[in-house]
Structure formats: structure tokens, C-alpha cells
């Protein structure tokens, strides 16, 4: 079973997203906890919201008090509604949210039947409940529930004892070629991507871009690939490096083979529906691009937004670091294409959902109070290997190198031993001094 924990400030968006599934007969409410009962046992967003309102009103300084959790068993598991209910209740207890109000929704719109839990992470006195070691505790809870309810083990890519760690290229250093080599020689071993565009989206996290070149030799058309180091905004800062400098695996032929292999593997990847689900939740529970990206980073997903010179979005790419897959929005679903986000963020995102409620003044005042004294955001537990001595480039749009932290040591033209991800939580170094050097 795989658990995804999202946090936000928009309880109405979270409830509306799930209630829409119910209204469309693609879901149901299978249980509630500390939620006011109704006469007929049916619920609407208007009826659910008042049970959360006292907690939101009492909230003292938590910027994102809303919890939106999805629990995803293996598709081969046959789980009854009663077991889903017990699994959700046990999970909330194990995570320290057993006394909170929450609603358990079952979604049946995709092959992978799964449940969502909407709750609040501040108690009735407005104090935030601890989320320390949340990723580790969630993984342990899932493993315990798999055994208790005889579920199949998680299909999410298991962490190996040794994991390669990459490092973004620093063009100011002399050995740029070696730095590029240390990334592109290893990426195909760990990530699946289906096109040159997806490959470049992944490379952009490491300040690298690749360009395809064509020409004729003895009357025959030939294709090649060159690599550049770039600044964080994509500006090239080096001369091109031929792919042959880095070995066959860096060339176009090898990449085409990798694209085809990735297409086959990603056709049945369980991560696709889970990622799609996480993105849809973020669309309904955030109001702007920055919050959208940040929520997905908290779940181990980078979002690459591509815009033309007029500022219009023409491409959305998602890099899921837990399943090690790269997806274009249109591959996941037509409602995740670029045009949808142009309209969404232009119109203020899910703010329109809140405006439909008579109670928006209460919600808005709560949000304003939260924003006046926000808590410091912690990196997603996936990135707990952040090295205290490393500082990244200043990147305003959450999600690129900042989320990845420290990566591979400099290559000397040979393969290295793969470094081990640290399992313990490390404090994230402040980068304020570095930001001022640009």
C-alpha cells in the first residue's frame, strides 16, 4: 500500500474534489469521524465544513492546516468497504491523527480503487500536531497495515541499500565536462522518460540541456546530440559537448532505445494513476502556481512549466522521484494539459470554489491569519539526504534543484561507488547568504 500525504490551506477545495467524485457516482463516503451527523446519512460540502470550522478558527499559526491523504492498495488486492474503513482508522491512529475530524472517501473512477482522507492537522486549540519523521512513520504504518490486513507489498519502487546521488552542474568550476558526465551517465539507470523533451526536463534539474543536431555525411542523414551547461533559467553558459565524449549511452541511439523501453514500462506503471491523483488534488487545493508546485514537491514531485515568449504555458512535465518516472501532463490525462493550467491560474485557481460558499469570509480571515505568521516549510522526507554543507542556486519557483539537494561527487571519467541515501533527518542549511551573491 502506498500513502500520499498532501497539505494545503483550502479545506473547501479538498472536500469539493472528493464530493464531486461522489456526485458523479465515481466515489462514496464510507466513514466519518467527529463529523456532525445528517438526517439521511448523506453529506454535502456545506454539511461537512462546519465540523472542521472550529479547528480552522482556532488555528494559531499553521499555514497549511488541511490534510489530504490518499491510501492506495495494490490493484490486485480485494479490499471491502469495511476493511477500507478500518485501514483508514488504523492509519490515522498510527500517524497521530486519530482524534481529529476526518472524512473517508472511496474513489472508483480508476482501476486502482483507493481511498482519500480529508482532515485537519491542528487540534481543537489551534496547535499543530507533530509531523516529525512523517515519511518514515507513514512507510512503517503502511507496512504494518499490509501485514494486518494481508495486503500485497507496496508496488512503489523499493529503496535499495545503495542509491546514486547526483549533483547539479556548477558552470563556474573548471571541470564542467566531468560534472555533466556524472549526471548523464547515471540518469538512464534510475529514471524512465519517453522523449527528448522529458529527458531535458529531468536534465534541467541539474543545470544541463541537450539539443539534437542533424546533418548529412556522404549523402546520408545523420542525427547527433550535444550537451550544454545552463544557468537556472535555461541560459547556455558553455560551448556544446558532443555526446560521444560521454560514451554511447549519452547518444541519440541509446536514448531512443531508452525511450522505447520506458514507454513499455510506464504503460502499466502504478505510479501513473497515483501521480495523476496527486496532481488533481493539488489543482483543487491550491490557488496559484507556486503553491501548486510546492504541494507536489512535498510529495516528491517536481513540476516543470514551459512558457512561450508571451508567457503562455505550452507544456507541463512532472518528475516523480519516488517512482523515478517523467510524465507530460497530457500523458496522464487531458485535464492536466497546458491549456487547463493557463485557464486555472489565470482565473485564480480554486478560489472560485470558495466564492460559491456563503462562509467565505470565515475561510478568508482564517487564511489571512495563517499567512501573517507562517511556519517554516520543511522539505519533503524524500529529500532528507540534504547535505548541510551544500547550497543551491536561488530558484524562486519551488521545485528544481532546491528540492533535490546534494547529489554525485565530481567524476574523473570513471564510474564511482554509489552513495547511500542518509536515512536520518538532517537539518536543511539556510541559503540566504548564497542568494545574495547572484
Query: Hey, what's the torsion of the CAs at 316, 320, 321, 325, to 10 degrees?
Result: -100
DSSP element (H, E) containing 305: strand 301-307
Sheet containing strand 66-72, edge to edge, reads: 2-8, 66-72, 114-120, 102-107, 27-33
Cα–Cα distance between 259 and 261 in angstroms, integer?
6
Stretch(es) of the chain classified as CATH 3.30.930.30? 2-156
Cα–Cα distance between 329 and 280 in angstroms, integer?
11
Match domain 2-156 to its CATH number in 3.40.50.2000, 3.30.70.20, 3.40.50.460, 3.30.930.30. 3.30.930.30
How confident is the model over 89-145, as pLDDT tens digits?
A: 999 999 999 999 999 999 988 777 899 999 999 999 999 999 999 989 999 999 999
Which parts of the chain have pLDDT scores under 70? Answer: 155-166, 216-219, 221, 347-438
pTM here is: 0.68
pLDDT at res. 384: 33
How confident is the model over 193-211, as pLDDT tens digits?
A: 999 999 999 999 999 999 9
Per the listing, cell 508546485 goes with 293
Nearest Cα to Cα of residue 245 among 326, 318, 179: 179
* Helices and strands: H and E segment counts in the chain: 16, 11
Amino acid at each position: 500500500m502506498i500513502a500520499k500525504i498532501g497539505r494545503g490551506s483550502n479545506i473547501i477545495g479538498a472536500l469539493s474534489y472528493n464530493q464531486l467524485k461522489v456526485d458523479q457516482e465515481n466515489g462514496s463516503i464510507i466513514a466519518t469521524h467527529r463529523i456532525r451527523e445528517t438526517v439521511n446519512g448523506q453529506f454535502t460540502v456545506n454539511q461537512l465544513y462546519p465540523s472542521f470550522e472550529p479547528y480552522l478558527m482556532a488555528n494559531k499559526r499553521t499555514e497549511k492546516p488541511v490534510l489530504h491523504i490518499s491510501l492506495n492498495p495494490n490493484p490486485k488486492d480485494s479490499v471491502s468497504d469495511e476493511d477500507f474503513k478500518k485501514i483508514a482508522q488504523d492509519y490515522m491512529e498510527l500517524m497521530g491523527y486519530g482524534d481529529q475530524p476526518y472524512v473517508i472517501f472511496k474513489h472508483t473512477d480508476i482501476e486502482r480503487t483507493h481511498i482519500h482522507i480529508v482532515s485537519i492537522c491542528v487540534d481543537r486549540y489551534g496547535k499543530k500536531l507533530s509531523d516529525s519523521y512523517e515519511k518514515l512513520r507513514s512507510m512503517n504504518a503502511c507496512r504494518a497495515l499490509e501485514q494486518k490486513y494481508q495486503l500485497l507489498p507496496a508496488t512503489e519502487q523499493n529503496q535499495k541499500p545503495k542509491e546514486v546521488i547526483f549533483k547539479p552542474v556548477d558552470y563556474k568550476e573548471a571541470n564542467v565536462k566531468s560534472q555533466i558526465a556524472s549526471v548523464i551517465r547515471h540518469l538512464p539507470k534510475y529514471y524512465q522518460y519517453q522523449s527528448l523533451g522529458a529527458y531535458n526536463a529531468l536534465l534541467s534539474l541539474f543545470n544541463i540541456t541537450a539539443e539534437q543536431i542533424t546533418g548529412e555525411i556522404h549523402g546520408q542523414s545523420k542525427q547527433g546530440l550535444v550537451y550544454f551547461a545552463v544557468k537556472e533559467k535555461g541560459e547556455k553558459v558553455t560551448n556544446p559537448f558532443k555526446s560521444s565524449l560521454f560514451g554511447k549511452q549519452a547518444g541519440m541511439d541509446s536514448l531512443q532505445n531508452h525511450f522505447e523501453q520506458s514507454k513499455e514500462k510506464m504503460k502499466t506503471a502504478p505510479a501513473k494513476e497515483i501521480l495523476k491523483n496527486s496532481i488533481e488534488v493539488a489543482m483543487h487545493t491550491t490557488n496559484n502556481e507556486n503553491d501548486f508546485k510546492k504541494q507536489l514537491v512535498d510529495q516528491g514531485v517536481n513540476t516543470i512549466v514551459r512558457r512561450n515568449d508571451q508567457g503562455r504555458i505550452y507544456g507541463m512535465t512532472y518528475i516523480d522521484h519516488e517512482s523515478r518516472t517523467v510524465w507530460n501532463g497530457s500523458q496522464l490525462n487531458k485535464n492536466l494539459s497546458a491549456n487547463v493550467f493557463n485557464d486555472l491560474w489565470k482565473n485564480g485557481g480554486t478560489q472560485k470554489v470558495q466564492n460559491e460558499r456563503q462562509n467565505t469570509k470565515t475561510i478568508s480571515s482564517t487564511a489571512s491569519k495563517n499567512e501573517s505568521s507562517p511556519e517554516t516549510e520543511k522539505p519533503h522526507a524524500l529529500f532528507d539526504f540534504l547535505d548541510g554543507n551544500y547550497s543551491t542556486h536561488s530558484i524562486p519557483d519551488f521545485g528544481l534543484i532546491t528540492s533535490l539537494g546534494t547529489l554525485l561527487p565530481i567524476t574523473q571519467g570513471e564510474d564511482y561507488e554509489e552513495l547511500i541515501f542518509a536515512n536520518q533527518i538532517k537539518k536543511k542549511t539556510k541559503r540566504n547568504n548564497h542568494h545574495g551573491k547572484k
